[in-house]
Structure 1
Amino acid sequence: MADELLVHTEGAVRTLTLNRPEKLNALNPAVHEALAAAFTAIESDDTIRAVLLTGAGRGFCSGADLMQNLGGTQRDLGAAIDQHYNPLVRRMRALPKPIIAAVNGVAAGAGANLALAADIVIACESANFTEAFIRIGLIPDAGGTFFLPHLVGDARARGLAMLGETITATEAAAIGLIWRCLPDAGFAQAALALATSLAAKPTQAIAAMKQAFNAAATNSLDAQLDLERDLQRTMGRTPDFAEGVRAFAEKRPARFTGAATPP
Structure 2
Amino acid sequence: MKPNKPGRRRLPTRVEIAGIVVLSVLAHFGVWWLYQHSSIKYPEPLKTQQSPPPVQVTFTSPQPQEKVPTIDRHAVMPPKKKPKPESKPEPKPKPEPKPEPEPKPAPEPKSKPEPQTEPKPKPEPQSEPKPEPKPEPRSSSQNRANSNPRANKITPAVSGLKSLGNPPPHYPPRALRRHEEGDVTLKILVEPDGTAGRVTVVDSSGYSDLDNAAVETVEKWHFVPAKRGDKPIRGYALQTISFNLPD
Question: TM-score scaled to structure 1, two decimals?
Answer: 0.13
Instruction: Name which one, 1 or 2, has greater alpha-carbon Rg.
Output: 2
Question: TM-score scaled to structure 2, two decimals?
Answer: 0.14
